[in-house]
Every structure is written in structure tokens, then in C-alpha cells.
């Protein structure tokens, strides 16, 4: 039987921190919208995000993180791989949020938020495991500094994916489906690269942290309520 890369209790902490991103991301406008949208639908899309997030995290680990660790690929090749993975996520988002029932409910944006939280939770949990693994890179390992970094990494990853997916959902409501895939994929690929590189060089997270922090405001004030009537807003 294959051995876990870190102790089981350390892995549990890594995943607990990752799942905490869902709780943090559920604060704000989405918590006030349960009266307007089917909560079970939001939870269902969260589960879709978790399952697909596991697949994306595995692909990112094998095709990007391992290649950076082994120093076998250049930044152009890694960026191209990140863009392909991001394109797959964006296409899956369109598949989930673009269904007639979801569009009919005008729930694409709030469901997009929970779908993105699922993406981010599993991606950050997986990166936290690598961050706690002392053999990955110089500076990785289970320490208070890396635990604090894991919390920040989780918040940035979850809110980043949630904001991108919510924006894509808000565009679906406006009957714009395919052009947003391109823009969302570019944004996702940047988020993927920055968060993976954070495991090796933590200051990299500062490249996307201000953008994610800014995206919180239009996501809460404009994108999430985009399907509501003016009176409901």
C-alpha cells in the first residue's frame, strides 16, 4: 500500500483548512440569498465543485506541481498546461450553470459561487498537503508559518475561483456563454499558476491577492445579485 506523503493527522489538518474556505466563502451576499434560491441546488453545485476540484487538483499536481518540483518544464509549457486545465474548468462551469433549469431560475451566479467554492476548497486542500510535505521543496513542511500560509492560500484560492465562476454565471444570465469561457480560462490559469508557485515561493501569492480582494466587491454587489429583480435586490 502506498504511503501518505505526510502523517495522517497533518493531512486531516490540511483538508480541514481547505474546507474552511467554503465556510468563509459562504459569508456575505450568498448567505442572504437563501430565500430567493433553492438551497439544495446551491449545495448540489458545491458538491459538483468538490468532485471536479479533486480531478483538477490531481491534474495540476501531476502536470504542473511535479514538473516545477523536478524542474523539467519551462514557464511557457507550464502556463499552457494551466490554460488547458482552466479551459476544462470553464467548460464544465458552462455545462453546470448553463442548463435550462438553472437559467430559468436565474440562479447561475449564486450557483456559480458555490461551484467555485468547491473548486477552490479541493485545490487548496491538495496544495496544503504539498505545503506540509517536507520533501517537496526547501521551506515546505509542517510548521506554524506554513499553517498560517495554508489559511491565506485557502482563502485566496476559494474566493478567487468563486469570483471567477460567479462572473461567468452572471454572463450566462445575460445570454453570453462562449466568450466568457475565454476570459474565465485566462483568469483561472493565472490563479492556478500563482497558487501552485506559492508552495515553492510564498511571495508569489501577493501577485493575485489584491485582485482577488478587489473581486469580492463586484461579486457581492453586482455579479451574485445579477439574477434578482431590482425589488429583490
**pLDDT tens, 42-95?**
889 999 999 999 999 999 999 999 999 998 889 999 999 999 999 999 999 999
Average pLDDT over residues 116-135: 96
pLDDT in tens, 152-180: 999 999 999 999 999 999 999 999 999 99
CA proximity to 113, closest of 225, 195, 17, 230: 225
User: Would 151 be classed as within a structural domain?
Assistant: yes
Q: Is residue 31 part of a domain?
A: no
Q: Rounded to 10 degrees, what is the CA torsion of 121, 126, 132, 136? A: -150
| Average pLDDT of the residues of the chain | 91
Identify whether 121 is part of a domain. Answer: yes
Domain-located, residue 70: yes
The mean pLDDT of 113-129, rounded to a whole number, is 96
Looking at the structure of the chain, the number of domains it has is 1
CB-count burial class (<10 Å; 0-12, 13-18, 19+) for 111 = buried
8 lies in some domain: no
- pLDDT grade for 1, boundaries at 50, 70 and 90: very low
Q: Is the pLDDT of residue 10 over 90?
A: yes
pLDDT exceeds cutoff 60 at 28? yes
Domain holding 50, by residue range, is 13-26+40-227
In a domain, 233, yes or no: no
All three cell numbers of 141, joined, read 513542511
> Is 126 part of any domain?
yes
CB atoms within 10 A of CB 91: 14
3 within domain boundaries: no
Amino acid at each position: 500500500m502506498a504511503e501518505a506523503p505526510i502523517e495522517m493527522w497533518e493531512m486531516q489538518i490540511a483538508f480541514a483548512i481547505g474546507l474552511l474556505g467554503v465556510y468563509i466563502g459562504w459569508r456575505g451576499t450568498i448567505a442572504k440569498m437563501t430565500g430567493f434560491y433553492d438551497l439544495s441546488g446551491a449545495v448540489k453545485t458545491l458538491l459538483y465543485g468538490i468532485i471536479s476540484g479533486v480531478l483538477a487538483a490531481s491534474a495540476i499536481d501531476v502536470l504542473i506541481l511535479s514538473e516545477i518540483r523536478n524542474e523539467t518544464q519551462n514557464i511557457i509549457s507550464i502556463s499552457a498546461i494551466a490554460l488547458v486545465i482552466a479551459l476544462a474548468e470553464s467548460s464544465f462551469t458552462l455545462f453546470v450553470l448553463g442548463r435550462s433549469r438553472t437559467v430559468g431560475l436565474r440562479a447561475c451566479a449564486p450557483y456559480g459561487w458555490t461551484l467555485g467554492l468547491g473548486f477552490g476548497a479541493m485545490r487548496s486542500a491538495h496544495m496544503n498537503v504539498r505545503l506540509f510535505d517536507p520533501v517537496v521543496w526547501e521551506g515546505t513542511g509542517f510548521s506554524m508559518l506554513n499553517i498560517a500560509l495554508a489559511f491565506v492560500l485557502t482563502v485566496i484560492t476559494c474566493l478567487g475561483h468563486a469570483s471567477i465562476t460567479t462572473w461567468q454565471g452572471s454572463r450566462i444570465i445575460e445570454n453570453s456563454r462562449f466568450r466568457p469561457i475565454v476570459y474565465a480560462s485566462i483568469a483561472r490559469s493565472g490563479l492556478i499558476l500563482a497558487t501552485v508557485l506559492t508552495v515553492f515561493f510564498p511571495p508569489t501569492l501577493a501577485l493575485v491577492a489584491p485582485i482577488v480582494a478587489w473581486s469580492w466587491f463586484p461579486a457581492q454587489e453586482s455579479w451574485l445579485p445579477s439574477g434578482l429583480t431590482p425589488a429583490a435586490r
